[in-house]
Amino acid sequence: MAKKSTFDITSEVDLQEVDNAVNQGRKEVGQRYDFKGTTAEIDFDKEAGTLTLLADDDYRLKSLVDVVETKLVRRGVPIRNLDFGDVQPASAGKVRQVVRLQQGISTEKGKEIVKEIKSGGFKKVQAQIQEDQVRVQAPSIDELQAVIKHLKQTDFGLELQFGNFR
């Protein structure tokens, strides 16, 4: 029985870094001239994994999104894992947008990843979905590295991390 090598494909967001980025964003919004005297709020719910952005109008909301994205990128948080909801009207003529942080790989995305691995022509490579991650097995480490290279070139709409390499 040959030993199989494995690795896990995950997609995680460091919530502490998101919290730090939100705090930096709030500080910048408080100092920027174009936000003086206006409503521009960034709320982070760590439990639900959501950001709620509130602004006076669509233009300021777009500026607020730019500030948040910039701070997240500087903190090393993948912005591909942000799921922007629709812009909704709030009280007093303001607008609100809820941004959900995607933690883990959904079953649908997992199926896409498994399908991509199978269609990639990798022999003896097996992939299976385990809750919010995908485990890939192969008898050869070289094949696993080829799978990683192949998956990095494919866009699944979220940032993939490859870990637990054994």
Report yes or no: 78 and 13 within 8 Å, Cβ to Cβ: yes
Q: Are residues 147 and 76 in the same domain?
A: no
- pLDDT exceeds 50 at position 1: no
pLDDT tens, residue by residue, 104-118:
998 999 999 999 999
End position of a domain, from candidates 77, 101, 125: 101
Instruction: Count CB atoms within 10 A of the CB of residue 25.
Output: 23
| 149: its two tokens | 């290279």
- Domain containing residue 141: 5-12+104-163
Domain check: are 43 and 83 in the same one? yes
Domain C-terminal end among 101, 119, 136: 101
Answer yes or no: do 92 and 40 share one domain. Answer: yes
- How much is the mean pLDDT over the chain? 91
Give this prediction's pTM.
0.83
Residue 75 has pLDDT above 50, yes or no: yes
What mean pLDDT do residues 23-45 have? 93
Q: Which residue has the tokens 């995680």?
A: 12
Give how many domains the chain has, as a whole number.
2
pLDDT computed for residue 2 by the predictor: 56
